[in-house]
Amino acid sequence: MKFTAFIYILFIFVSCANKTPKTAQETPSRKTTEESNIAIIKETETLEENQSVDTEQEKEAVMSKTPEMVIEKDMEQKKEVSPMQKTKDEMVKTEMEEETNAENHTPAAEVEVKGDEPEVKEDTPVEASNPVSKEEETKTETTEEIVLAKVPSHANWDKLLRKYVDNTGNVDYKSFKNSSSELSAYLEMLAKNSPKTDWSKNERLAYYINLYNAATVKLILDNYPTKSIKDISRPWGKDIVKIGNDVVSLGHIEHKILRKMNEPRIHFAINCASYSCPKLVNKAFTASGMSAQLEAATKDFVNDTTRNQFTASEAKLSEIFKWYKGDFTDKGSLKDYINNYLSTPMTASTKIKYLKYDWNLNEKR
């Protein structure tokens, strides 16, 4: 303000001086005076503008030192977003919403309706209920692995055998049908507890022998009444036995699993629901008693006169010894193997013949 007043006084002084020229030559014209006045005014305005700019710069410098002002200024700058950036943000937001919707909804076409569950119309989104977190999922899987690692009990199968199978190995299939649900539950339990690599050989033998026998009984019950297992289409070739995530046939269990375990006595433990088969023992096989049970089953079969017949000069054997001869002769001849269980062993001159196999159902009469 002081500087402006000084300029104004100087302007008055100059104006007064122009009004009293000493000579005609020194007296300026009206036009010259006006131009001079305009020049002075413009110079004054320029100086004021420069001073105003300096003042604004000083003001900004002061504002920059005030945290509250700086924060306010930054927030205002953040609010000023370009239209392109706004569009991009909206697109990202839309994509995130779509992903969220996809996680929380399942198309009705992919929902499998079972039992009494309500029918869902096509193209109707179904909200996912009780979403499971990854931690809970992992915890559930770990728990399942711990359960599956346990060796299953064969107690329920043992109860069924004692109830419906007599001492000669014949089965009361007609009455057994009343407990078909219990048999199915036992097979389902075995399916969920398939053998693990840390199981002992006897634990695996007990699992597969009991599984084979129980699955064979279920096959008969599912097709009962029947006169023979051979009346059922492909009884040993169909995939009807569940083990873990796999479904296999009875033939697979016998030839691809049990026979691969280098234990020929399994042939006298598994039963094919026929009279000429080794009898179905009315007690479940267990890992702890495996060796004794296999030995007893083999001795019983070899000395059963309905399955094998011996004289001084001739031996009429079950066709099992013919079909699986290779399994019994790994460490000697067939006679050597059978003689281990005979009170009167065969001699080198004993002739071997085979009896006709009776495939009639081993039903209790």
Please report, for the chain, the start and end positions of each structural domain, with discontinuous segments joined by +: 1-21+29-43, 166-300
The parts of the chain modelled with pLDDT lower than 50 are: 20-27, 52-53, 55, 59, 61-84, 86-88, 92, 94-95, 98-132, 138, 140-148
Q: What is the mean pLDDT of the chain?
A: 77
The pLDDT score that the predictor gives to residue 278 is 97
What is the structure's pLDDT at 150?
82
What's the confidence (pLDDT) of residue 365? Answer: 83
- pLDDT at residue 190, rounded to an integer: 98
Q: What's the confidence (pLDDT) of residue 45?
A: 55
In sequence order, what are the residues at sequence separation of 6 or more whose Cβ sits closer than 8 angstroms to the Cβ of residue 115? none
CA diameter of the chain: 176
DSSP state of 134: H
* Best CA proximity match to 232, nearest among 188, 272, 180, 181: 272
Contacts of 63 (CB under 8 A, 6+ apart): 69, 70, 73
Rg (alpha carbons) of the chain, rounded to whole number? 51
- Token digits of residue 235: 């009884």
Q: How far apart are CA 335 and CA 315, in angstroms?
A: 10
pLDDT of residue 7: 62
* Residue-level pLDDT at 6: 57
Q: What is the pLDDT of residues 20-72, one digit of tens each?
A: 444 444 445 555 555 655 555 555 555 555 554 454 555 454 444 444 444 44
Rounded to whole angstroms, how far apart are CA atoms 254 and 260? 9
pLDDT for res 123: 38
pLDDT value of residue 48? 52
